[in-house]
Amino acid sequence: MNLDVSVRKNYGRFQLDVAFSLTEKRCGIFGPSGSGKSTLMHLLAGLLEPDEGRIELAGQTLFDSARNINVRPEQRRIGVVFQHAHLFPHMNVRRNLLYGWKRTPEEERRINPEALARVLQIDHLLGRGVNSLSGGERQRVALGRSVLACPRLILMDEPLNGLDEELKYQIIPYLKKVFSEFAVPLLFISHSLQEMRLMADEVLVFEAGRMQQRLPSEELARRSLVTGSRGYANLLALSGPRPQGDLWLYGWGETDLVLTEPGAAGDNVFELAAKDITLFKRHPEASSARNILPCRVEGIFGAGNRIGVELTCGGGSLICQIVPESVSEMDIRRGAEVIAVIKASAFHRLY
Amino acid sequence: MLDLSPQDMQAIWLSARVATAATLISVPFGFVVAYFLVFVRLPGKALVEGMVNLPLVLPPVVIGYLLLLLFGQSGVLGPLLQSFGIRIIFTLKGAVIASAVVGFPLLVRSIRTGMEDIDERYLQASRTLGARWWDTLLTIIAPLSGRAVLAGMTLMFARSLGEFGATIILAGNIPGVTQTIPLAIYEYTNTPGGDGMALSLCLVSIVISFVVLLANESVSRKFRQRTTR
């Protein structure tokens, strides 16, 4: 993807004024509501006209106020997945899915509808009306509908927002699979840091209609350790749970972790808050916590009373949050050996 | 009790023909005007809106008179149509036109409300999926405003069945040619001893209107099942 944007749009008292160019395949636009994320999405898709500026995608000018160019939305080949799916209510799942596909010239159709339906696991829903679908199913159909139009870029506007808190992350594996298997560039719009880290490599941070910073999503997460109210959360991909008494044993790199939560066969992604990891200088021998991992300190970052300690243990890496006093008392510095202790119940399964 | 003369039967048949023709002819225009009022951003829209709604507030007699001026022998369109051998005044065509003009605002209002209720994002979704505006109009807007069109048609049909003022001026009250149910009732009320006959036609009128409403209800329920989110 090669997206060059430099636009201004006045909206009553709100003004959007941004300029950036993107080359990453998976980018995110992050910011609180009212920061201009959705406006930008509408401008990119051609659903709104900028007051001034220029938009270029893959070498083609989509909008240029100076040259009076404004390509219509149906000719931009930019897909949009809306917050609430907005499946056409008078069509069944199949007709929804194929709406864009039928309107794509045959030589441009590079995605097979059956294959996509299988990846999204909606092949059994094709004959159903869209009103009987669950939130997650609707969002999967909406994604499929956009992808089948073979767009050059897909914009997703808070696609997980309308979903159940418990289930919202379950759609992520489908998203990841579709975007990697069918190689569609993605611009993911969200105010959720966790979603950003799962879906985007690079993030543009918006605030009050301006682009404030631009950084890798992991870096954004690390900064939240200092500034965010919820602190930093480790995202761990754990494999294949095996029962161990009342608990579950998961593979993580070369080590095993003990968790209370059961998961699905194969890969599971768990969230582990950095402040739920306790560091010990020496092995505590006996502890109520089930996971006692020897680690090496790789680095220290942070400010104020929140210090992040980067750890590696058994091939995996973790970030643990402690206070400055602990750093000096335990003499934590790069290369130091420590023991990380984590309760089995500290892990929260995302998907 | 229901004692209908052949002339009454003719009036019923004429009423049905006039209302059906007026409604069917108006639907495409009503749809286009409603689309224009809802989705097209152009100056002068308020003027169009005012003109469309005018028949709703003007006395039907005034409309009938204006139509008479337009289509009459010395009117603007009258002589032109005459040269093609088309006569509007005192014919069934006149009755249809009178009904169409009077009922048109009701049709447009109803379709318009339906179109305004369509979530804009369906239209945006269809555009980003590659549909041009006319494609979106045919595949998204038309089916999603189907119920509103139907409701508008019902209203218009019912209004046409009852059309009196404009019809009597433009088409006259000629039994067997332009005499619809309301005109026949009017004539009976002016005839000594015609009360019973007038009442019979009133009953017929009520029954027809009721059937139309029931039919509308059942069809619109089917639509609702198909289109609700």
Domains of chain A, each with CATH number or no CATH: 3-227 (3.40.50.300), 233-349 (2.40.50.100)
Question: Which pLDDT does position B229 carry in this prediction?
Answer: 42
Would you give the end-to-end CA distance of chain A in angstroms?
Answer: 28
Residues of chain A with pLDDT under 50: none
Residue B117, chain A, CB below 8 Å: the answer is no
Q: How is residue A89 written in tokens?
A: 């209510």
What is the dihedral sign for C-alpha B102, B107, B112, B113?
A: positive
| Chain B nearest C-alpha distance from A332 (Å) | 54
A303-313 b/e with 16+ CB inside 10 Å = b? eeebbbbbbeb
Q: Do B131 and A145 touch (CB under 8 A)?
A: no
What are the chain B neighbours of A45 within 8 Å (beta carbons)? 124, 128
| Chain B nearest C-alpha distance from A39 (Å) | 14
| Chain B nearest C-alpha distance from A350 (Å) | 29
- Per-residue pLDDT tens over the stretch B15-25: 999 999 999 99
Residues A345, A260: contact at Cβ < 8 Å? yes
Domains of chain B, each with CATH number or no CATH: 6-227 (1.10.3720.10)
What are the chain B neighbours of A76 within 8 Å (beta carbons)? 128
Report chain A residues touching chain B, CB-CB < 8 A: 45-47, 72-74, 76-80, 82, 84, 86, 88-90, 99-100, 103-104, 130-131, 145-146, 149
Residue B41, chain A, CB below 8 Å: the answer is no
Residue B124, chain A, CB below 8 Å: the answer is yes
Residue B118, chain A, CB below 8 Å: the answer is no
Query: Which residue in the set B119, B129, B227 is minimally distant from A99, CB to CB?
Result: B129
State the Cα–Cα distance between residues A144 and A149, nearest whole angstrom.
9
ipTM: 0.82
State the Cα–Cα distance between residues A32 and A265, nearest whole angstrom.
36
What are the chain A neighbours of B122 within 8 Å (beta carbons)? 86, 88-89
Q: Which backbone phi and psi does A335 adopt, to 5 degrees?
A: 95, -15
| Chain B nearest C-alpha distance from A116 (Å) | 17
Question: Which pLDDT does position B37 carry in this prediction?
Answer: 93
Residues of chain B with pLDDT under 70: 1-2, 225-229
- Taking only residues 140 to 199 of chain B, the set having a beta carbon closer than 8 angstroms to any beta carbon of chain A reads 140, 143-144
CA distances (Å), origin A202, targets A22, A56, B81: 9, 19, 70
State the Cα–Cα distance between residues B9 and A236, nearest whole angstrom.
83
Q: Do A100 and B229 touch (CB under 8 A)?
A: no
Q: Do A99 and B128 touch (CB under 8 A)?
A: no
Task: Give the containing element (helix H, strand E) for B145.
Answer: none
What are the chain A neighbours of B135 within 8 Å (beta carbons)? 74, 103
What are the chain A neighbours of B130 within 8 Å (beta carbons)? 74, 77, 100, 103-104, 149
Residue B39, chain A, CB below 8 Å: the answer is no
Query: Which residue in the set B121, B125, B131 is minimally distant from A103, CB to CB?
Result: B131
Residue B122, chain A, CB below 8 Å: the answer is yes
Q: Do B131 and A45 touch (CB under 8 A)?
A: no
CA closest to A145 among chain B residues: B129
Q: What's the length of chain B?
A: 229
Q: Do B128 and A88 touch (CB under 8 A)?
A: no
Task: Give the containing element (helix H, strand E) for A266.
Answer: none
Q: Do B128 and A45 touch (CB under 8 A)?
A: yes
Residue A145, phi-psi category: left (phi > 0), alpha (psi -120 to 50), beta (remainder): alpha
Q: Do B130 and A103 touch (CB under 8 A)?
A: yes
Query: Which residue in the set A46, A84, A100 is minimally distant from B129, CB to CB?
Result: A100
Task: Give the containing element (helix H, strand E) for A125.
Answer: none
Q: Do A149 and B122 touch (CB under 8 A)?
A: no
What are the chain A neighbours of B119 within 8 Å (beta carbons)? 86
Question: Which pLDDT does position B207 carry in this prediction?
Answer: 92
